[in-house]
Structure 1
Amino acid sequence: MGERTVIITGANSGIGKAAAIKFATEGYRVIMACRDVDRSKKAQMEIIAATESERVELMGLDVSSFESIRNFCAEFKTKYEKLDILIHNAAYFNHGEKSYQFSRDQIELTFATNTFGPYLMTKLLADHLAKSEDPRILNACTTNIRYFFDPKRKIEFDNLQGEFKDSKPYSVYVNYGNSKMALLMLTFKMAEHYHEQGIKVNAVQIPVIKVSKETIKKVSPGYRIIARLQNLLGDSQESMANTYFHICTSEEFKNVTGRLVNDKRKIVNSSHYGSSIKDGVKQFFDKDVYPTYADNREIIEKVWELSSRLTEEA
């Protein structure tokens, strides 16, 4: 199919960097979409050295900023006629953050980065994706959404612009899980919305991953114990990068869209478990099911409408 191009957000570290190495090794033109271009140049040089590929380009992108997204997409379109793969890998998750953080558009930073940014970027690049012979989008989700097996857990839509920042305590962990559940819901809706253009949209459920020494230094002393245990049991960044590549390029997933895929490359289905405590425990540890909350059509439409309205207003 000739030269193929992939955009990977947050490609300067972690799974994103490992994915950039994998795609570049396989002959893809890789666009590293990174917030801090100066700091990311080192990662770019390392990827080029590791892959011996000169087709690794670094472009500035702050996924939490709608202006930055618009500028990035406009620049990309002037350089390239089409896009084959778009991977929404970048995410905001600042361990230990105790106060509300907001984007340039005055939206809670976790949602701006993890939900609304990917929505707008997809919308602006859809026409270029549609020109590809095999266009695919991958949204990086997380096992954190499994806390929605709790029937009391819901996305809080009323505080996304700091409406209750002075009265509601902030939890980066809760907001991260909420924003990623919203991203999964967007995945389902995007698959429907872009179906006629031939664009396949899926999400990947990232499991416990080994964390860097830099991240361990940032977290609380109590969480450092968990982080070190996580490094003993967690999956590697390279393994997840290979999963990214498989979902985005393989014949197995060529016609798959609107699905959640786990780290074993198996499609995850909506939970079939009952409401008993025993079933609740079982489903939490069953990596082949996701919370039925994600299938709520009313909430899916609400996430879509909110994404559309906030990104248009900015």
Structure 2
Amino acid sequence: MKDKIVLITGANSGIGKAAALKFAMEGYKVVMACRNLERSRVAQEEIMKTSNNANVNLMELDVSSFESIRRFCVNFKAQYPRLDILIHNAAYLNYGEKEYKLSPDQIELSFATNTFGPFLMTRLLEDHLEKSDDPRILNACTTNIKHFFDPKRKIDFDNLRGELRETKPYRVYKMYGDSKMGLLMLTFKLAEVLKSRQIKVNALEINRVKLSKETIQNMSPVWRILGMAQNLINPLPASMAENYFHICTSEEFEKVSGQLFNHKLEIVQPARSTKGLAQVKNILGSGSYPPYAARTENIEKIWSLAMSFTEE
């Protein structure tokens, strides 16, 4: 795999770092796309030393900034002849945040980082992905989308620039879940759009894993305590990194596109029923996702916003 090129955003900690190590151990050329280069160099050196693979490159990228994404893609294309695997792993979830934060492009920061940034990056790298003989894209989703089994839950499409900040309190987990739902719906749409170019696009529902020290340090005091307690029982990120690798490299999923995988590497289906015992199974199980994600009007709305927000 010495000629295969994998690009992973947010690869300096957590699942992203574990995935970068896994691909490096398997002999891939790994590009770590990270916002903080100084902190990320430590992770880069550790990965190269552990894997005995010198082909681990570190490039600067702020996924919340369209300018940074455009600059990154220009630099990436200048350095690499193609892209085989693109993993959108970076995410924004600022535990304990109580105020709206906007990106440099004046988009609510969760959506800028988790939804529209990955969308723009994918579109800018389409041509390079098409040069691969087996191009695959993986979007990191979350079990948080299960909240959409509540029929009242919806994305506030009219608040993606913080328009309602004066009347609607900021809820960090809602924005995180909504932005990841947006990413899932864009996964479905991109799979259709890129089908003719043989580019596969899938998503993975991330279960809880041990949080990195960096993540815990950035938490407010109360969340920091909860995070440390959670780490006592949650599995290591390496288990989810193995799923990243299998989805993006195995012959088993070579032709699979437009799907959501769970942590067992099963393809998740839209729920057939959201009533009674079926709804209990939806919420407690891992075999279905909310019908909200499959509704054409919701997919077309987030697609339209993604196109309009990212046009120059």
Q: Normalised by the shorter chain, which TM-score bucket?
A: over 0.9
Alignment of 1:55-204 (within 5 A): 55-204=55-204
Contact map agreement 2:8 2:33 (CA 8 A) in 1? yes
Shift of 1:224: 5.2
Letter of the 2:279 counterpart:
G
1:81 to 1:212, Cα distance in 2 relative to 1, 3 A: closer
- Letter of the structure 2 residue corresponding to residue 279 of structure 1: A
Paired position in structure 1 for 2:7: 7
Superposed CA deviations along residues 104-152 of structure 1, whole A, max 9, x for unmatched, are: 1111000000000000000000000001000000000000001000000
Check whether the contact 2:149–2:274 (CA below 8 A) recurs between aligned residues. no
Q: Give the 3 Å change call, closer, same or farther, for CA 38–290 of structure 1 in structure 2.
A: same
Contact 2:96–2:223 (CA under 8 A) maintained in structure 1: no
Aligned residue for 1:290? 289
In 2, Cα distance between the equivalents of 1:82 and 1:216? 36
Q: Tell me the distance in 1 between the aligned counterparts of 2:274 and 2:165.
A: 36
For the 8 Å contact 2:2–2:28, the answer to whether it is kept is no
Q: Secondary structure at the match of 2:308?
A: helix
CA distance in 1, matches of 2:222, 2:66: 36
2:65 and 2:117 in contact (8 A); partners too:
yes
Aligned partners of 2:209 and 2:236 also within 8 Å: yes
Code of the residue aligned with 1:63 in structure 2: it is V
Any idea what SS the aligned residue of 2:19 has? helix
Q: Is contact 2:23–2:30 with CA below 8 Å preserved after alignment? A: yes
- Could you say what secondary structure the match of 2:137 adopts? strand
Cα 1:179–1:256 change in 2 (3 A) is same
Distance in 2 separating the partners of 1:35 and 1:213: 17
Structure 2 residue aligned with 1:261: 261
Helix, strand or coil at the partner of 2:100: coil
Aligned to 1:19: 19
**CA–CA distance in 2 between the matches of 1:256 and 1:229?**
37
Q: Helix, strand or coil for the counterpart of 1:233?
A: coil
Secondary structure of 2:53's counterpart equals coil
Give the 3 Å change call, closer, same or farther, for CA 272–310 of structure 1 in structure 2: same
CA apart distance, 1:231: 2.3
Q: Is the 8 A contact 2:191 2:201 kept in 1?
A: yes
Q: Deviations over 1:233-288 (max 9, x none)?
A: 32320001111000000001100000000111111111123423x33222101101
Number of residues paired by the alignment? 312
Q: Is the 8 A contact 2:4 2:28 kept in 1?
A: yes
Q: % of aligned pairs identical?
A: 60
What amino acid does structure 2 have at the position aligned with 1:286?
Answer: G
5+ residue gaps, structure 2, are none
Distance in 1, matches of 2:229 and 2:44, equals 30
- Kindly tell me: are residues 105 and 233 of structure 1, through their superposed partners in 2, closer, same or farther at Cα, counting changes over 3 Å? same
Checking the alignment, whether the CA contact within 8 Å between 1:96 and 1:218 is kept in structure 2 is no
Could you tell me which amino acid in structure 1 is paired with residue 107 of structure 2?
I
* d(CA) in 2 for partners of 1:173, 1:261: 22
TM-score, length-normalised on structure 2? Answer: 0.96
Query: Could you tell me how far 1:80 is from its partner in structure 2?
Result: 1.1
Q: CA, structure 1 residues 221+58, in 2 after alignment: closer, same or farther (shift >3 Å)?
A: closer
2:208 partner letter = V
Distance apart, 1:214 and its partner CA: 4.6
Q: Is the 8 A contact 1:9 1:89 kept in 2?
A: yes
Partner Cα separation in structure 1 for residue 80 and residue 217 of structure 2: 40
Are the counterparts in 2 of residues 207 and 234 from structure 1 also a CA contact under 8 Å? no
1:24-39 correspondence to structure 2 within 5 Å: 24-39=24-39
What one-letter code is carried by the residue in structure 2 that aligns with 1:288?
A: G
Structure-1 separation of matches of 2:14 and 2:274: 37
Q: Verify the 8 A CA contact 2:16 2:89 in the aligned structure 1.
A: yes
The root-mean-square deviation of aligned C-alpha atoms, in Å, is 1.5
Query: Cα distance, 1:220 vs. partner?
Result: 5.3
Give secondary structure in 2 for the equivalent of 1:70.
Answer: helix
**8 Å Cα contact 2:33/2:60 also seen in 1:** yes
Residue type of the alignment partner of 1:123:
R
Structure 2 distance, partners of 1:298, 1:5, is: 36
